[in-house]
Amino acid sequence: MRIMVQGTSSSCGKSITVAALCRIFYQDGYRVCPFKSQNMSLNSYVDDEGLEMGRAQVLQAQAAGIQPRAFMNPILLKPTTDKKSQVIIMGRPYKNMDAVEYFEYKANLKDKIKEIYKMIEKNFDIVVIEGAGSPAEINLKENDIVNMGMADIANSKVILVADIDKGGVFASIYGTYMLLEDEERKRIKGIIINKFRGDKLLLKSGIEKIESLINVPVIGIVPYFNLKLEDEDAAGYRKEKANGKINIRVINLPRISNFTDFDAFMFDEDVTIKFIDRPIELEGADMVIIPGSKNTLEDLRWLKVSGFYDELLKFDGIVFGICGGYQMMGNKVIDVEGWETQKGDFEEGLKFFDTTTFLLGDKKTRNISGQAFGKRIKGYEIHMGKTINNKNPFVEINFEKENYLDGDYKDNKYFGTYVHGIFDSGEFRSFILNLIRDKKGIRIKKSVDLDEKREEELNKLADIFRQNVDIDFIYKLMKEEE
């Protein structure tokens, strides 16, 4: 069985809808797998085989009660500049392409996607497929492999999700439907209106009208909710939280990557976390985080032009760098092979550490575990840089039979590491936050692991969808003869 979730736009709630369906089917005893043929995101993850995949499919796999695997997202596009993306195929970097080059190339991927999908279908009871953006992007429909093109590969019925919170929901539903070809329209079997605030009775006349216009039923009205889960992979998505006594600021780099590294702080009640764009917003912060970057050199230059560089040199609290942010905290970053800018290009760093980073083509992607300051951690590495002269590494990494040291720190003030997801581990997050609590005279607390809390949130998500979406209708769709 299979069902596909498409949307009227980006960020309308496709990813979270797929996650909800995966959890519901898993709760009902099915072996279920998420699948998104092509994803564009700077939030990526490394599976147990060291293969890279989009973060949204990771959450969906966790909702399905299975380990994330790269075949759930065989094509991942990671923007490197405004015009180019790194194309990752089945978890491995293929090459950097501009939009025109990739548009011409993607027809070559259709057979590969079909092969992977058929393999999944043979090994699971249900496949929940996610589209990307909107199926009505008429300039992108040729050789489509992610929306109606994917529905055709899977011979799947489609549920269309529309975001009412932005306004114009009925126009977006009607416009999307009418821009499709007749055969594509036949695949759409139900509409879910997402992110609704207010009394559902107010929608009654609108629902009756749209159903009569397109002859497709509205099968759910999902209320606006604020669960502590990753939503879409879209660039605008950031999790923030206010009203805590501990103030954490994350610098919103132009090419920020893996900003889900900080979602775990949502579960610490005394923490405020905010993504910032201006140096003045550092005022009152206890810790500033320099996150990962898909273009370390250009984002380091942006730190200087924007004024963050000078303010960080004066900053009195903790400075914590992850991956590209860690590289920026050293003496120098050198693009040896021209992967980000041009061969031999370099930029002076913040010089908190005596490190030098060489950007090389050998990309390290691995799931790791270990400890930091004696605290248990697990996470993953995704980076092309090699950093030398780190005098005080604080992370002891265990990878298969290999043990090695990572990162650098100084004076309990400057910390840098290549480990994404290091804050997900409650023991280490407690250690860092308790340094701040002790300094501020706040009671010491223990943080929880993100994995534990995520399970609670996924079950809440399933409850919301069961209460507001006709799940029996979706089961009936999947079980109908093709």
Q: Give the span between the Cα atoms of 158 and 136, in whole angstroms.
A: 14
383: annotated active-site residue = no
> Any bridge partners for residue 380, and if so which?
367, 420
Contact 229, 15 (CB under 8 A): no
DSSP conformational letter for 70: G
Contact 97, 85 (CB under 8 A): yes
Tokens of 198: 């207010």
22, 33, 323, 383: which one is catalytic? 323
Reference 247, options 450, 433, 449, 42; nearest CA is 433
Phi, psi of 140, rounded to the nearest 5 degrees:
-115, 5
| Residue 449 neighbours by CB under 8 Å, 6+ apart | 424, 425, 426
> Any bridge partners for residue 370, and if so which?
377, 397
Torsion of CA 439, 444, 450, 451, to 10 degrees: 150
Give the C-alpha distances (Å, rounded to integers) separating 239 from 109, 195, 229, 261, 329.
Answer: 34, 17, 9, 10, 24
Contact 68, 86 (CB under 8 A): no
The string of DSSP codes covering 267-284 is: G-TTEEEEEESSGGGGTT
Q: Give the span between the Cα atoms of 142 and 154, in whole angstroms.
A: 18
Q: E strands of 228-306, at which residues?
A: 246-251, 256-257, 271-276, 287-290, 292-293
323: annotated active-site residue = yes
Contact 397, 404 (CB under 8 A): yes
CA 208 to chain CA centroid, Å, is 36
> What's the length of the chain?
482
Q: Give the span between the Cα atoms of 46 and 30, in whole angstroms.
A: 25
Tokens of 91: 């978890």
Tokens of 353: 């550490």
Tokens of 66: 């299975």
Q: Give the span between the Cα atoms of 5 and 147, in whole angstroms.
A: 9
DSSP conformational letter for 470: -
Phi, psi of 365, rounded to the nearest 5 degrees:
-130, 115
Q: Treating both helix axes as pointing N-terminal to C-terminal, what angle do 55-63 and 14-27 enclose, rounded to 10 degrees?
A: 20
How many other C-beta atoms can be found within 10 angstroms of the C-beta atom of residue 170?
Answer: 17
Tell me the catalytic residues: 323, 420
